[in-house]
Amino acid sequence: MKQVISSENRPIKLWLDDIEGNALSQAKNMANLPFVHRHVALMPDAHSGYGMPIGGVLATKGVIIPNAVGVDIGCGMCAMRTSLDDADTETLKQIMSRIRKTIPVGFNWHKEAQDIKHMPRAEELPPIVERHYEKASKQIGSLGGGNHFIEIQHGSDGKVWVMIHSGSRNLGKQVADFYNKKAKQLNERWHSAVPASYDLAFLPIETDEAHAYINEMNYCVDFAFANRRLMMERVQHAFMDVFKGDVMFDDLINIAHNYAAWENHFKENVLVHRKGATRARLGETGIIPGSQGTRSYIVEGLGNTESFESCSHGAGRVMGRKQAQRELDLKSEIKKLNDKGIIHGIRHQKDLDEASGAYKDIDVVMANQTDLVRVKVELEPLAVVKG
């Protein structure tokens, strides 16, 4: 831990030295909520979000806050180690070509619904999920946009790895928007003491609305995992095609970083909201990606109680998307990747929203959380597909 701010009703514990002003204001709003458990925790990649900083961890007693989970419910990472020791540029290009043919990226999705076996099962679909189920069945197995990616990497263990960052596509957003709006309406009706300006409207856990949101949120977490799993299957097929079946794969590692879950911390059962934060229980395997062109990490959690057993979910932004497109130098960002021999898709100024210059230094981020995780494998990027 780097510092503690004690000026609010509850302490704010930070795993970073410098935090942008808006993110700090959001953290102070959280620390003044009447149902906060113990303190607020900010991971080393923390930066401003909607209502709550990305990289924030908030434990609550008796309520759940849709906006403290966010719109991309279940967004997370998966990674898989292959039996390959290396892959040359031409081979990587062949693999990436096959990936692009089978996995839609950005705003694109499949023209036809995918096999129902890939969709999460439920005895009864929650109402918002049911309303958008048909569209979701065409979006499963697609990457989405923003900072989502598929990356082929070379590990410090001498093996080639595959890593995917993706979420619940439009399904999670529909659920998040519906219940955040519902929470705002109810908070206004109850004359809630939580200012509307915080954008942290809550649902008391005993209400039907809270039960409904948790049910829908959990389905979206399962859908996001199913989405990553299907994409990873298709990446495996791409490898198998190129290597004529002469490649094997280890078990899939999967983690989410946008969700809320019941956990026991400091001897109380509380709802832990992680918005751009990864659970890091003692001995638990996790994934921390870098920015485009920088290292990523397979880590092992140290179970730090002060962070509610959490760690960062990535490097964390230092520039908004539009700011990066305005201020970063296209030639310089391309040169960074080319000098490392990374196959990438940065071609135009608009692509700079996800350039490494828009993100924090992953080395600093990792150095700030040595009390949260232990690095197991360092992963250097070889080729990347961005959403």
Q: What is the pLDDT of residues 281-311, one digit of tens each?
A: 999 999 999 999 999 999 999 999 999 999 9
Buried-exposed string 159-172: b where 16+ CB fall within 10 A, e elsewhere: bbbbbbbbbbbbbb
- Ramachandran region, residue 303 (left: φ > 0; alpha: ψ -120 to 50; beta: rest): left
Q: What is the pLDDT of residues 30-67, one digit of tens each?
A: 999 999 999 999 999 999 999 999 999 999 999 999 99
Q: What is the mean pLDDT of residues 76-104?
A: 97
d(CA 104, CA 100) in angstroms, rounded, equals 7
HEC assignment per residue over 103-147: CCCCCCCCCCCCCHHHCCCCCCCCHHHHHCHHHHHHHCCCCCCCC
Positions marked catalytic: 313
Domain regions of the chain by residue span: 3-318+359-386
Query: What strands lie across the sheet with 54-60, from one edge to the other?
Result: 3-5, 12-14, 36-47, 54-60, 268-275, 258-265
d(CA 257, CA 72) in angstroms, rounded, equals 10
Q: What is the mean pLDDT of residues 62-80?
A: 98
Nearest to 61 by CA among 28, 33, 98: 33
Q: What is the pLDDT of residues 199-231, one digit of tens each?
A: 999 999 999 999 999 999 999 999 999 999 999
Q: Which homologous superfamily does the CATH classification assign to the domain defined by 3-318+359-386?
A: tRNA-splicing ligase RtcB (3.90.1860.10)
Q: What is the mean pLDDT of residues 143-166?
A: 97
- Ramachandran region, residue 248 (left: φ > 0; alpha: ψ -120 to 50; beta: rest): beta
Nearest to 20 by CA among 46, 56, 1, 40: 46
d(CA 41, CA 54) in angstroms, rounded, equals 11
Averaged pLDDT score across all residues of the chain: 97
What 3-state DSSP class applies to 230? Answer: helix
pLDDT at 387: 80
Please report, rounded to a whole number, the percentage of residues in the chain having pLDDT higher than 90.
Answer: 98
What does each C-alpha distance from 334 to 137, 149, 319 come to in angstroms?
Answer: 36, 17, 18
pLDDT at 237: 98
Q: What is the pLDDT of residues 262-273, one digit of tens each?
A: 999 999 999 999
CB 338 within 8 A of CB 326: no
d(CA 286, CA 255) in angstroms, rounded, equals 7
pLDDT band at 345; cut points 50, 70, 90? confident
pLDDT at 186: 97
